[in-house]
Amino acid sequence: MTKKDQLVNILRQNARMSNEQLAAMLDISAAEVAEIIKELEESGMIIGYTAIINEEEYDRNSVSAFIEVRVSPEVNCGYDDVAAVIAQYPEVAAVYLMSGGYDLAVTVKGTNLRDVALFVSDRLAPLNGVLSTTTHFILRRYKEKDKMFIKNTDERTLVSP
Amino acid sequence: MDYEKVLSNKVQQLQFSGIRKFFDIAASIKDVISLSVGEPDFNTPWAIRKEAIRTLEKGKTTYTANAGLMELRTAITDYIKSRTGLEYDGAHQVLVTVGGSEAIDIAVRAIVDTGDEVLIPQPSFVCYAPIVTLANGVPVIIETTAENGFIITPDEILKHITPKTKAIILPYPNNPTGAVMRRRDLEKLADVLRNTDIMVISDEIYAELTYGDERHVSIAQMEGMQERTILINGFSKAFSMTGWRLGFAAGPEPVITQMLKIHQYSIMCSPTMSQYAAVRALTDCEKDIETMRNEYDMRRRYIVKGLRDLGLECFEPEGAFYVFPSIKTTGLSSQEFCERLIQEKKVAVVPGDAFGESGEGFIRISYAYSLDHIKTALNRMEEFLKELGK
């Protein structure tokens, strides 16, 4: 594995380490770490850093939904135009083009159930090109971005030789 | 019933290890963050687990040959050869044991008569001296120091050799210090040992977890040393198979034959499912070992830097998954440090003196934990040290 691959792997686990700390782990200099990160950011390989929030715990009323969207593709641009329109809404957390029985997978987050329902009925469904939507509400989060929401139980004894 | 009279004096006088005492303290406190385990945090690679399941499905649950499945012994000799270039005859020079621990035990028992001396470097894993004592031998402790990189030097060996010296334990890569003995160090030891009748019991259980460009080297690779070395390794650490209880010994036929005798009477054979799974481990899991080693290596660098940033003097460990920082600057003993750390910040680390008197002034920290876990523990240690300094 190259230093770049190793660095990306660490950042996937934890993006909040200092360059000095990363440098120690990779056995390179902090300046080299900064250089690789800059390169990754400028080439669009790293597009940002965010926290993974346990949303439903953080705000008991908040609701997220996973929506299957069927779309009629347009000449020239296929699904991209519709996807771009959907992606710009602040309620939308993620948009993916999918293989299989539907076309776009859209994750939506609202401060309450009604928010999400209204978003689907008033904004998403009437969009040009959208044929149908199927909304699935997220009931519980177990794992996101490699991180477990459920407490990992360590079966090992606390202290062993 | 007067149990004291019934029970063997030798056994009663044996102390429980300092680790057990500390385990009791840790177990009595809620929500402890532990950096104290001596086993990997990775699951056994799936291919290995699947092989064991398949073995059970096929109903292969009988005893195996005493020395272990021939198929496994062959895989072991191939494995040793690929790592060290050493050749062993799987039929007569290899014995599959219940963990590396059993191999150490029967190696000592095969060699030691009453009053015979066995050289044991410390700090080291807790079992060596008790095993020698139980075999009616005399443990002769060689204290290693941080200044010497916790390795054993020819001078120290010469100083402790007597006509009664039968064997020396060579526990590298070392638990708890993380020290390794490189080829140049082993050459020097071999120069001293080559012309003696002292057997080397080389506990290489952490061999795969050697970091840096130079891979692990066994003392058996030194000229004239294969015939005086019992090479011990196992599956617990490298393959993350602690609970499977499987290890092995490779050595000169006359020694292995006697060890086999003890093994045959006390154990019969190692667990059959584990043995089949181990064949798979040796033939199919190179990648898994490497992934785990890389992950440990990264954590190692992270934690060493973290501890040094906290102001603790920290010897650079090059093997196993432990760091052994000095806590002498705090003015506390190892025991005091660890007890206060767990009481005040709920972080469990092991006092260095649990691994021998020369471990006093140090603590053992395991990095067989996720980075997030290690980070949290280091933060708490930082608070602890700050409060101590006030």
Flag whether pLDDT at B390 surpasses 80: no
Range of the domain at B375: 3-44+287-389
Flag whether pLDDT at A154 surpasses 80: yes
Q: Considering CB atoms only, which of B23, B372, B375 is closest to A158?
A: B23
pLDDT number for residue A15: 93
Shared domain check, A78 and A38: no
Q: Is B360 exposed, middle or buried (0-12, 13-18, 19+ CB in 10 A)?
A: middle
On chain A, the residues whose CB falls within 8 A of the CB of B299 are: 25
CA atoms of B236 and B205, how far apart (whole Å): 8
Q: For residues B79-88, b (16+ Cβ closer than 10 Å) or e, as one string?
A: bbeebbebeb
On chain B, the residues whose CB falls within 8 A of the CB of A8 are: none
* Residue A152 domain flag: no
Structure tokens at A147: 């991180």
Q: What is the mean pLDDT of residues B164-168?
A: 98
Q: What is the mean pLDDT of residues A138-151?
A: 88
The total number of structural domains that make up chain B: 2
Strand duo B199-203 + B229-234: pairing: parallel
Flag whether pLDDT at B365 surpasses 90: yes
Shared domain check, B367 and B309: yes
Shared domain check, B30 and B167: no
On chain A, the residues whose CB falls within 8 A of the CB of B348 are: 158-159
How many Cβ atoms sit within 10 Å of the Cβ of residue A29? 12
Report the chain A residue with the minimal C-alpha distance to residue B290: A1
pLDDT number for residue B43: 94
Does residue B20 or residue B343 have the better pLDDT? Answer: B343
Q: For residues B162-173, b (16+ Cβ closer than 10 Å) or e, as one string?
A: eeebbbbbbbbb
On chain A, the residues whose CB falls within 8 A of the CB of B305 are: 20-21, 24-25
Q: Give the CB-side neighbour count of residue B296, counting CA atoms within 13 A.
A: 31
Shared domain check, B207 and B89: yes
Q: What is the mean pLDDT of residues A143-160?
A: 86
* Residue A97 domain flag: yes
On chain B, the residues whose CB falls within 8 A of the CB of A159 are: 19, 22-23, 26, 34, 36-37, 348, 350
Flag whether pLDDT at A151 surpasses 90: no
Shared domain check, B226 and B276: yes
Last residue of a domain, one of B221, B255, B284: B284
Q: What is the mean pLDDT of residues B140-156?
A: 96
B206-217 per-position pLDDT tens digit: 999 999 999 999
Shared domain check, A121 and A65: yes
Instruction: Write the CB contacts of B132 (distance below 8 Å, at least 6 apart in sequence).
Output: B108, B112, B118, B120, B138, B139
Please tell me the least confidently modeled range out of A1-10, B52-61, B126-135, B246-255: A1-10
Q: What percent of chain B has pLDDT over 90?
A: 95
Inter-helix orientation angle B286-309/B371-389, to 10°? 20
* pLDDT band of A152, cuts 50, 70, 90: confident
Q: Considering CB atoms only, which of A13, A27, A161 is closest to B38?
A: A161
Range of the domain at A22: 3-42
CA atoms of B21 and A71, how far apart (whole Å): 66
* Residue A94 domain flag: yes
Shared domain check, B303 and B169: no
Query: Identity (one letter) of the amino acid at B247?
Result: G
Q: What is the mean pLDDT of residues B78-105?
A: 98
Under DSSP, is residue B34 helix (H, G, I), strand (E, B) or coil?
strand
B272-308 per-position pLDDT tens digit: 999 999 999 999 999 999 999 999 999 999 999 999 9
Last residue of a domain, one of B260, B284, B308: B284
Please tell me the least confidently modeled range out of A106-110, A141-145, B133-137, B374-378: A141-145
How many Cβ atoms sit within 10 Å of the Cβ of residue B147? 7
pLDDT number for residue A55: 87
Cβ atoms of B165 and B139 closer than 8 Å: no
CA atoms of B103 and B250, how far apart (whole Å): 10
CATH number of the domain residue B242 falls in = 3.40.640.10
CA atoms of A31 and A23, how far apart (whole Å): 8
Q: Is A4 exposed, middle or buried (0-12, 13-18, 19+ CB in 10 A)?
A: middle
In the numeric block, the tokens 């250089």 are attached to A35
Q: What percent of chain A has pLDDT over 70?
A: 100
Last residue of a domain, one of B245, B264, B284: B284
Shared domain check, B67 and B32: no
Shared domain check, A64 and A37: no
Report the chain A residue with the minimal C-alpha distance to residue B21: A159
Contact: B36, A159; criterion CB under 8 Å: yes
- Four-point Cα dihedral B235, B241, B246, B249, nearest 10: 20
CA atoms of A108 and B109, how far apart (whole Å): 68
Cβ atoms of B19 and A160 closer than 8 Å: yes
pLDDT number for residue A159: 87
Shared domain check, A132 and A61: yes
The total number of structural domains that make up chain A: 2
Give residue ranges of B with CB < 8 Å to any A CB. Answer: 17, 19, 22-23, 26-27, 32, 34, 36-39, 41, 125-127, 175, 294, 298-299, 301-302, 304-306, 348, 350, 354, 371-372, 375
Contact: B375, A14; criterion CB under 8 Å: yes
Distance from the A25 Cα atom to the nearest Cα atom in chain B, whole angstroms: 5
* Residue A150 domain flag: no
pLDDT number for residue A157: 86
Flag whether pLDDT at B73 surpasses 80: yes
* Residue B112 domain flag: yes
Cβ atoms of B381 and B310 closer than 8 Å: yes
Report the chain B residue with the minimal C-alpha distance to residue A28: B301
Contact: A1, B175; criterion CB under 8 Å: no
Shared domain check, A74 and A114: yes
Contact: A25, B302; criterion CB under 8 Å: yes
Flag whether pLDDT at A76 surpasses 80: no
Shared domain check, A117 and A63: yes
Under DSSP, is residue B145 helix (H, G, I), strand (E, B) or coil?
coil
pLDDT number for residue A148: 87
On chain B, the residues whose CB falls within 8 A of the CB of A25 are: 298-299, 301-302, 305
pLDDT number for residue A45: 96
Residue among A65, A77, A109 at smallest CA distance from A85: A77
3-state SS of chain A: helix, strand, coil percent to 5? 35, 25, 40
Instruction: Write the CB contacts of A73 (distance below 8 Å, at least 6 apart in sequence).
Output: A79, A103, A129
Structure tokens at B326: 């000095």
CA atoms of B164 and B159, how far apart (whole Å): 13
CA atoms of B342 and B29, how far apart (whole Å): 8
* pLDDT band of B19, cuts 50, 70, 90: confident
* Residue B233 domain flag: yes
Shared domain check, B293 and B275: no
A17-66 per-position pLDDT tens digit: 999 999 999 999 999 999 999 999 999 999 999 999 988 889 999 999 99
pLDDT number for residue B119: 98
Q: What are phi and psi of B138, to 5 degrees?
A: -120, 115
pTM listed for this prediction:
0.91
Q: Does the ipTM exceed 0.85?
A: no
CATH number of the domain residue A17 falls in = 1.10.10
Distance from the B122 Cα atom to the nearest Cα atom in chain A, whole angstroms: 14
Shared domain check, B235 and B109: yes
Shared domain check, A117 and A64: yes
Shared domain check, A134 and A62: yes
Q: Where are the alpha helices (DSSP H) in chain B?
A: 3-6, 9-13, 18-27, 46-57, 70-84, 99-111, 128-134, 154-160, 183-193, 253-266, 272-284, 286-309, 334-345, 371-389
H or E, element range at A20: helix A19-26
Distance from the B162 Cα atom to the nearest Cα atom in chain A, whole angstroms: 30
Distance from the A48 Cα atom to the nearest Cα atom in chain B, whole angstroms: 20
Shared domain check, B247 and B151: yes
Shared domain check, A123 and A84: yes
Flag whether pLDDT at B25 surpasses 80: yes
Flag whether pLDDT at B17 surpasses 90: no
Flag whether pLDDT at A161 surpasses 90: no
Residue among A140, A145, A117, A136 at smallest CA distance from A56: A140
* Residue B122 domain flag: yes
Please enumerate, as own/partner, the contacts of B101-104 that have beta carbons within 8 Å and a separation of 24 or more. Answer: B101/B127, B101/B247, B102/B247, B102/B263, B102/B267, B103/B230, B103/B232, B103/B234, B103/B247, B103/B248, B103/B249, B103/B259, B104/B128, B104/B131, B104/B169, B104/B201, B104/B203, B104/B232
pLDDT number for residue B187: 97
